[in-house]
Amino acid sequence: MQSLPIVYHDHYSIIWPEKHRFPMTKFEMLYRYLLDQGIASPDQFHAPRIASDATLTRVHHTDYLDSFVQGTWAHKIQRRIGMPWYPDLVTRVRAEVGGTVKTTRLALEYGLACNTAGGTHHAYPDFGSGFCILNDLAVAARLALDEGRVNKVLIVDLDVHQGDGTAFIFKDEPRVFTFSMHGARNFPFRKQESDLDVGLPDGAGDDAFLAALHEHLPRLIHDQRPDLVIYDAGVDVHRDDRLGRLALTDEGLYARDRYVLEQTAAQGIATACVVGGGYSEDRNLLPQRHAALFRAAAEIFADLQAP
């Protein structure tokens, strides 16, 4: 029986040179955690291609991409992104975008797939922001449309931060519907207009979050009838996240992810998942939180495979 397809690339493990006190990225930690906990086996993992210039320039301006690749971007852009440039960063970021592209293709083939990275929703066509350099969600959606694989994409962004870059990129694209449910008072403080924005108050917990999700998601799926859902499952909505300001529990994260995937699976909609944000002083907690997505996805995928 086919198992849930999961995307991981060795370059996800590249860390900032200044951060050598951390031996692994959260992406590598998640990969190892999934294996160690028996949530996934080695044969489930797929390695993506590094995203090419031709793929990236479907969304990003050539001048911006060149400045990133060559390390010549303006200081104000680097400051807005919040991380230093170094040569290996280019490969890591391109691998991450390639990973989400691969995840969408696997989802369209098997019905559901997950990337162990991704969710860089603050990146705009000509600049990055908030630790996001290239917008993997937008590139993957655009490529799927351009290649004729799909006619309609629904982006479900449940990271605690609004997907402002994605909203801006697709503001005039009727084939992509952007839905962002996020902390109303959290970054970015100057928000873009998604096709549907649901801003939650500080301190909103499991009940409030899930009630809002139940109110909006089934209707969106019914009205939009997408061929593909790209789901950003950020865990920075957790009550102990240092940047989140919402209050979901571990159980709430799992319930959120399970609900999204149940809704899309019930309608036979291919769903590509990315992990999104997550920030904790105790980095060992992050893979546990992100693993909720993979547990829920593995269960839903098994149901899809059942005779």
**Along the 307 residues of the chain, how does pLDDT read in single tens digits?**
799 999 999 999 887 666 544 557 899 999 999 999 999 999 999 999 999 999 999 999 999 999 999 999 888 888 899 888 888 999 999 999 999 999 999 999 999 999 999 999 999 999 999 999 999 999 999 999 999 999 999 999 999 999 999 999 999 999 999 999 999 999 998 999 999 999 999 999 999 999 999 999 999 999 999 999 999 999 999 999 999 999 999 999 999 999 999 999 999 999 999 999 999 988 899 999 999 999 999 999 999 887 7
E strand map for the chain: 6-7, 45-46, 112-115, 153-157, 176-183, 196-200, 228-232, 270-274
CATH number at 6-305: 3.40.800.20
Residue 61 among the catalytic residues? no
Enclosing H/E stretch for 165 = helix 164-169
Tell me the helix, strand and coil percentages in the chain, rounded to 5.
Answer: 45, 15, 40
Confidence at residue 23, expressed as pLDDT on a 0 to 100 scale: 58
The catalytic position among 9, 11, 60, 122 is 122
User: What is the rounded distance in angstroms from the CA atom of residue 19 to the CA atom of residue 113?
Assistant: 31
Residue in 131, 120, 129, 187 with CA at minimum distance from that of residue 160: 187
What was the pLDDT predicted at 20? 46
Q: Left, alpha or beta for 32 (phi > 0: left; psi -120 to 50: alpha)?
A: alpha
Q: Buried (b) or exposed (e) across 129-165, using 16+ Cβ within 10 A?
A: bbebbbbbbbbbbbbbbeeeebeebbbbbbbbbbbbb
Q: What's the confidence (pLDDT) of residue 22?
A: 54
